[in-house]
Amino acid sequence: MNGDIQRKAAEGQKVILTGVLLNLVLSTGKIAGGLLGRSNALIADGIESLLDLFSSLLMWAALKYAAKPPDEDHPYGHGKAESLSSLIGSLVLAIAGALIAHNSIIQLIAAAHGAPVHLPSPWTLLILIGVIALKETLYQFMARRARKIGSNALLADAWHHRSDAVTSIAAFIGISISLLGGRGYEVADDWAALFACVVIFYSSYNMLKLSLGDVMDARVSPDAEKKVLNITCAVPGVISAEKCRIRKSGLSYIADLHIRVGGDISVREGHAISHLVKDKLMTSELPLEDVTVHVEPEEG
């Protein structure tokens, strides 16, 4: 199973590095385009992409660490590093939203007090169209991979790219309103950036809730528990199974369950049945890293 975890982690790291390289190019382009094209929304969008770089590198390191096998100090493995990184990633996403909101509010207050505001350049819209297309494509690609390997850290990184696409859409709308409205509509891109922050905060909240669930060993899913019980009850010698508990540890699951066996069999036979149950579960399609089976005798 550890080899499977390392394979999944390597796949996740490769996907994240693709996003890092793309973010580096896009953030540089957006900030440069915003400065040259006089668009605060585009500059804010570029700053958010730079923060995504930090978050992505953190996710990459966490996936690498989470794939390490158990050792003396970490008998349950290092999978929680993946959950902790997705937790930090959700907080970084919230910080990015707060920075964009802060910048937009300052610009709006300054404009309300008569500070000169310039209309953005029309060509900044072309940058945003390219960014939106690339970021949404990257989100879809990463989200599919994240669900395939069961990585919330990779899913959190995917949501960073989705939030980037959302802020770019907001910037596109804001700049378009500014250009169509002309004088008096210069602050439209700031209002658009502020609106995009609502979407970013919502995404951050959802990822934070998911990450906290992993850290606090929340229930994985009723379907996974049902599969474990069905596989267990199909093992010869098992009369029934109950008290199935599954928790997520990085890219894999750790399960505990109770089985009932005949009360008149020997301890050795009961032990052999429990090992057979564990072997069946470990070779199933479920991403189980470890299974603890408690044997109870059937009451006469």
Quote the pLDDT of residue 147: 82
What tokens does 55 get?
């978050």
User: What sections of 67-121 are H helices per DSSP?
Assistant: 80-112
What DSSP line would sit under 182-229, residue for residue? -TT-TTHHHHHHHHHHHHHHHHHHHHHHHHHHHHTT----HHHHHHHH
**What's the pTM value of the predicted model, to 2 decimals?**
0.69
C-alpha dihedral (101, 198, 136, 144), degrees to nearest 10 = 130
pLDDT digits (tens, 9 = 90+) for 183-216: 777 778 778 878 878 877 887 888 788 788 878 8
CATH 1.20.1510.10 domain locations along the chain? 2-215
For tokens 């250009």, the residue is 179
Q: How many CA atoms lie within 13 A of 159 on its CB side?
A: 29
- For residues 194 and 187, what is the distance between their CA atoms, to the nearest angstrom? 11
Q: Which CATH class is domain 2-215?
A: mainly alpha
Sequence-ordered list of residues with C-beta below 8 angstroms from that of 134, at least 6 positions apart, any chain: 22, 26
Give CA separation, 242 vs 10, 228, 233, 286, in Å: 35, 10, 10, 18
Quote the pLDDT of residue 272: 94
What 221-229 contacts at long range (C-beta under 8 Å, 24+ apart), as own/partner pairs, is 221/246, 224/253, 224/286, 227/284, 227/286, 228/255, 228/257, 228/281, 228/286, 229/257
Sequence-ordered list of residues with C-beta below 8 angstroms from that of 272, at least 6 positions apart, any chain: none
Quote the pLDDT of residue 268: 93
Domain 222-297 has CATH 3.30.450.40: no
Ranges of residues in the chain with a pLDDT under 70 are 1-6, 8-9, 40-41, 44, 48, 117-119, 300
Quote the pLDDT of residue 40: 67
Closest CA to 29 of 14, 9, 45: 45
Give CA separation, 171 vs 180, 189, 205, 283, in Å: 14, 6, 22, 50
pLDDT digits (tens, 9 = 90+) for 41-89: 677 677 767 777 777 787 788 777 877 777 888 888 777 887 888 788 7
Quote the pLDDT of residue 4: 66
Q: Helix count (H) and strand count (E) of the chain?
A: 8, 3
Amino acid symbol at 20: V
Quote the pLDDT of residue 119: 67
Amino acid symbol at 47: I
CATH 3.30.70.1350 domain locations along the chain? 222-297
CA angle 52, 54, 55 (to 5 degrees): 60
